[in-house]
């Protein structure tokens, strides 16, 4: 089984998936929608991808403010989480995503990707960072648990 990572934005959802060994995250795609409230096609695409990749859980980026408070984006993300769980019938885990978009943009700058092409990739890369952070946590927990 694999784990899927999602970076949920107002117009896009970046999608990443783990390898079967749960060691690395790979970007799959960015799902675009015409308006923020139109989620039916987005949910259908995610459901299709969870089946294709045999995903047994989803890690969803949770966009807390830098001072650890929850704003409007958090509320929308929680609503999206409920819709995802209902649609896909698999657990959705929230994961702090602060600074992932900044890190994604920095990575693309370092790679020399032109500014006008970055938005196309930033959400997918942010999803990779969210998922990789979670996979690293799982590896750390396994490592520490085996030492007991």
- The whole-model pTM stands at 0.85
> Number of structural domains, the chain?
1
Q: In which band, very low, low, confident or very high, does the pLDDT at 9 lie, cut at 50, 70 and 90?
A: confident
End-to-end Cα separation, the chain, in angstroms: 26
% of the chain residues with pLDDT over 90 = 57
Bigger pLDDT: 9 vs 37: 9
Domain that holds residue 124: 2-146
Q: In which band, very low, low, confident or very high, does the pLDDT at 115 lie, cut at 50, 70 and 90?
A: low
Q: How does pLDDT run across 56-82, given as a tens digit for each residue? A: 999 999 987 777 777 788 899 999 999
Distance of alpha carbon 83 from alpha carbon 133, whole angstroms? 24
CATH of the domain at 56: 3.30.420.140
């Amino acid at each position: 089984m694999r784990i899927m990572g999602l970076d949920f934005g107002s117009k896009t959802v970046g999608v990443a998936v783990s390898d079967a060994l749960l060691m690395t995250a790979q970007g799959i795609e960015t799902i675009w929608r015409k308006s923020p409230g139109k989620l039916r096609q987005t949910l259908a695409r995610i459901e299709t991808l969870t089946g294709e990749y045999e995903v047994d859980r989803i890690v969803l980026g949770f966009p807390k403010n830098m001072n650890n408070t929850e704003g409007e984006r958090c509320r929308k993300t929680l609503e999206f989480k409920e819709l995802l769980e209902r649609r896909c019938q698999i657990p959705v885990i929230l994961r702090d995503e602060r600074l992932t978009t900044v890190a994604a943009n920095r990575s693309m700058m370092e790679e020399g990707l032109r500014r006008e092409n970055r938005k196309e990739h930033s959400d997918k890369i942010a999803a990779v960072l969210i998922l990789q952070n979670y996979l690293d946590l799982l590896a750390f927990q396994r490592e520490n648990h085996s030492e007991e």
